[in-house]
A = this chain, B = another copy of it.
């Protein structure tokens, strides 16, 4: 057996929680009910006797419950294939320190990584929900997470932490359950999508919809590779990178032969494809292999619907922020044009006007929205982010 690094949470297992009490359905924000609901989650570290050391980590659009550690020995040995998506942040002695904290990372409802979503079987029919899955919103996702939290008997969280859509969940936690999180860390997110962001999501959804293999959402078991989902992911990747970052990474370089293999036949027809085209094609292909197209539709729509001003402030962000009791740390990246520093600062301002405890860090980066994710190129950003986590969490009592 391979030994994981000493600052790793080691081998972990995804766990499942299913709402068991009758009625086992949860009322949804947009109407309708969903149930039974299963939530896939992972935990790291140990819950103390007082149940006072829990932190909830929330994932982004295409993330999963697997935030830290490894599933198998193989993951430890080889080029890390299946390491948790925030392994750099979570572990013994790491910024979110498993020696001190008990961390819970749930997969959101509507996703395809173990929690109930459109790819799950509807017990009433024995078939996958597909497009009969009800619309779920970020408030619904958080409501379900709260039921999971109750199952542990935890009534306060040291923090809720997340980036992108995970940041939206953190903010929703502080709004829907003001007395539960003592703090939230909100990274590269906003209180509501702009028209441009909704438009980008709409393009992705339309690309899925026009793919005949999508077939109105009924494609389970066909083994079809949904090319519309690949196109949706390409749009996503453009928005996750900054113009400057893309220019530095690809510029006008021609496709290299290894990447060219990932190009579509159409792109191959035109010789002299550009490296950036191969990159997008590759990212699209990888995504189709791991994600569910219907989940993509539902989750992007949930992001579009997220609107703190309207839900909690009658159209006013200032009023909405009145509810917040948690201490807030906000982080944005200078070149993030999907969730810009300007959007984050609006929230900072609204919190400040309400005399709330808020700190704001704008991290200089050319890596756009993706800067909070773990890649070699974002090590500098993540060092700053990790240190900020430590400094912030240490004084949350």
Of A102-110, A141-149, A206-214, A385-393, the one with at least 4 CB within 8 A of chain B:
A206-214
Residues from 112 to 169 in A contacting B, C-beta threshold 8 Å: 131, 135
Instruction: For A131, give the chain B residue with the smallest CB separation.
Output: B269
| B301 near A238: Cβ-Cβ < 8 Å | no
| A266 near B205: Cβ-Cβ < 8 Å | yes
The reply to whether the CB of A246 lies closer than 8 angstroms to some CB of chain B is yes
The reply to whether the CB of A280 lies closer than 8 angstroms to some CB of chain B is yes
The reply to whether the CB of A250 lies closer than 8 angstroms to some CB of chain B is yes
| A276 near B205: Cβ-Cβ < 8 Å | no
Given A192-B252, A195-B252, A252-B198, A212–B209 Cβ distance below 8 Å? no
Residues from 267 to 320 in A contacting B, C-beta threshold 8 Å: 267, 269-272, 274-277, 280-281, 284, 297, 301, 304-305, 307
Chain B residues with Cβ below 8 Å from A235 are 203, 235
Instruction: For A307, give the chain B residue with the smallest CB separation.
Output: B252
The quantity of this chain's copies bound in the complex is 2
Task: Tell me which of B243, B266, B280, B304 contacts A209 (CB under 8 A).
Answer: B266
| A199 near B266: Cβ-Cβ < 8 Å | no
| A238 near B206: Cβ-Cβ < 8 Å | no
| A304 near B274: Cβ-Cβ < 8 Å | yes
Please, how many angstroms separate the alpha-carbon atoms of A322 and B266 in the complex?
37
Interface size on A, residues (CB 8 A): 56
Q: How far is the CB of A338 from chain B (nearest CB, A)?
A: 10
| A234 near B203: Cβ-Cβ < 8 Å | yes
Chain B residues with Cβ below 8 Å from A297 are 266
Chain B residues with Cβ below 8 Å from A55 are none
Chain B proximity mask over A372-391: 1 for CB below 8 Å, otherwise 0: 00000000000000000000
Instruction: For A272, give the chain B residue with the smallest CB separation.
Output: B305
Chain B proximity mask over A1-38: 1 for CB below 8 Å, otherwise 0: 00000000000000000000000000000100000000
Chain B residues with Cβ below 8 Å from A277 are 198-199, 202
Given A252-B307, A266-B205, A199–B246 Cβ distance below 8 Å? yes
Of A43-51, A84-92, A223-231, A355-363, the one with at least 4 CB within 8 A of chain B:
A223-231
13 contacting pairs across A/B (C-beta < 8 A): A194-B252, A195-B251, A198-B276, A199-B238, A199-B280, A202-B281, A205-B267, A206-B230, A206-B234, A206-B264, A206-B284, A266-B297, A272-B305
List A residues at the B interface (Cβ < 8 Å). Answer: 30, 131, 135, 192-196, 198-200, 202-203, 205-207, 209-212, 227-228, 230-231, 234-235, 237-238, 241, 243, 246-247, 249-252, 264, 266-267, 269-272, 274-277, 280-281, 284, 297, 301, 304-305, 307, 337
